[in-house]
Amino acid sequence: AAETETESVDVMAEAELKVAQYDYDAAIALLKDSPDYESNTEMQQAVTDYAMAKNSLVEYPIDQVTHVFFHSMIVDTNRAFGKGAGDPTTDGLNQVMTTMSEFTQIMQSMYDKGYVMVSLHDMCNVDENGNVTRGTILLPEGKKAFVLSQDDVSYYHYQDGYGLADKLLIDENGEVKNQYTDADGNVLIGDYDMVPWIDTFVKEHPDFSYHGHKGIIALTGYNGILGYRTDIAYKTRENLDSFQQAWFEQHPDFDEAAYNKECEDAKAVADTMKATGWEFASHTWGHINVGQKSLEGIQTDTEKWLNYVSPLVGGTDVIIFAFGADLGDWTGYTTDNEKFNYLKSQGFDIYCNVDSTQYWVQFGSDVANGGQYMRQGRRNLDGYRMYYNPELLEDLFNAKDVFDPARPTPVPPMG
């Protein structure tokens, strides 16, 4: 009897978590499926209460879902900015990166303002034929849906020594955390970048996540993924760039067995992330500009992504363009756009560029010719945007309050 009681308590707790994340249908189904439901008046009452609460939800306008993104977070500002303005890496980090201090304040502000993380796949439905239609997001009045993404979670070689995390890994509790090496060479495990920080925050604030969904991670492949050296170059040692050559000099014993272990470990991290609400997107294998690249160049790059990244993350139908580039202008993709036709044929249904407006969402409706997609603009919440356009961020947070005093100013202009 005690065991049955414990199971009932566990089921109730699981249902309450689903309710906290606005998933009333799942909570009701969970309780009704419990073997104790017929005899448990508490469960029956909860089902009644949940059904009433669900009726108070309102449909959130898909066209008003904002999408914010980051790159890997700066943990140690002394190392990131210590070389001073003029160091190309420091200047780049100052422009496009966000410090952990800034990031935590931005997320807290957004949470306080009622923002809730949703998936791109909440915004649209994609059937087996690649037809894309509008989705439905139901939230309490006053809550605001947003998509969170992060680019380049590869922990590139060029970032070594600049005070960023080393990799993502699975800790002794089975949770995804970062490995971070501090300035003294101590190897630490913890929340040193977006993924584990969000995991911890959602544990404490489950209502920050819609149906358990978290962010979407946009991956390149040329240095591997998630801090693991998974690209084919690390197996063949061919076509290496100077950073990779230097890395091999530091890791002379890295052989095929080590390469296979890197792929295995990266896949295990990706699987754990997916099980806890994260998704993956292509950011192109080589961080290419799809607007400037030829169709043939896009095909070559996409094949590499599909061969060396997709198997590790389990595939995706989302492409988040590097450099904020795009395949066409704002009027929409048409079926005479060869680049779009190719990417669509490779299974990509959702396309994201960079756009500084509050929200920009477009659905392609050329059903007869297969020209179906959802397209969304993203907003960069980085040093450049906070310094030059703080007024564009006021719906999310006060940039002047958040801006890290450790940043060298002026932030270098782009271009």
- Cα separation, 245 vs 394, whole angstroms: 44
pLDDT of residue 7: 73
- Cα separation, 116 vs 144, whole angstroms: 6
pTM: 0.95
What are the backbone angles phi and psi of residue 142, rounded to the nearest 5°? 95, -20
pLDDT of residue 84: 86
Burial 130-157 (b: 16+ CB within 10 A, else e): eebeebebbbeeebbbbbbbbbbbbbbb
pLDDT of residue 189: 98
pLDDT of residue 4: 59
Instruction: Please list the residues that pair with 167 across neighbouring strands.
Output: 179
Can you give the three-state secondary structure of the chain, one letter per residue?
CHHHHHHHHHHHHHHHHHHHCCCHHHHHHHHHHCCCHHHCHHHHHHHHHHHHHHHCCEECCHHHCEEEEECCEECCHHHHHCCCCCCHHHHHHHHHCEEHHHHHHHHHHHHHCCEEECCHHHHEEECCCCCEEECCCEECCCCEEEEEEEECCCCCHHHCCCCCCCEEEECCCCCEEEEEECCCCCEEEECCCHHHHHHHHHHHCHHHEHHHCCCEEEECCECEECCECCCCHHHHCCCCCHHHHHHHHHCCCCCHHHHHHHHHHHHHHHHHHHHCCCEEEECCCCCCCCCCCCHHHHHHHHHHHHHHCHHHHCCCCEEECHHHCCCCCCCCCCCCCHHHHHHHHCCCCEEEEECCCCCCEEEEEEHHHCEEEEEEEEEECCHHHHHHCHHHHCCCCCHHHHCCCCCCCCCCCCC
Distance of CA 183 to the CA centre of its chain: 27
Output the six-digit token pair for 220: 């390149």
10 C-beta neighbours (distance < 10 Å), count: 11
Amino acid of residue 384: Y
Output the six-digit token pair for 107: 């997320």
pLDDT of residue 267: 98
- Cα separation, 137 vs 272, whole angstroms: 25
Find out whether 216 and 210 touch, Cβ atoms under 8 Å.
Answer: no
- pLDDT tens digits, the chain, 415 residues: what are they? 455 566 777 899 999 999 999 999 999 999 999 998 999 999 999 999 999 999 999 999 999 999 999 999 999 999 999 998 889 999 999 999 999 999 999 999 999 999 999 999 999 999 888 889 899 999 999 999 999 999 999 999 999 999 999 999 999 999 999 999 999 999 999 999 999 999 999 999 999 999 999 999 999 999 999 999 999 999 999 999 999 999 999 999 999 999 999 999 999 999 999 999 999 999 999 999 999 999 999 999 999 999 999 999 999 999 999 998 999 888 888 888 999 999 999 999 999 999 889 999 999 866 555 558 999 999 999 999 999 999 999 999 999 999 999 999 999 998 7
Q: C-alpha angle 215/170/264, rounded to 5°? A: 95
Phi-psi label, residue 225: left if phi above 0, alpha if psi -120 to 50, beta otherwise: beta
Question: Beta strand pairing status for 66-70 and 371-380?
Answer: parallel
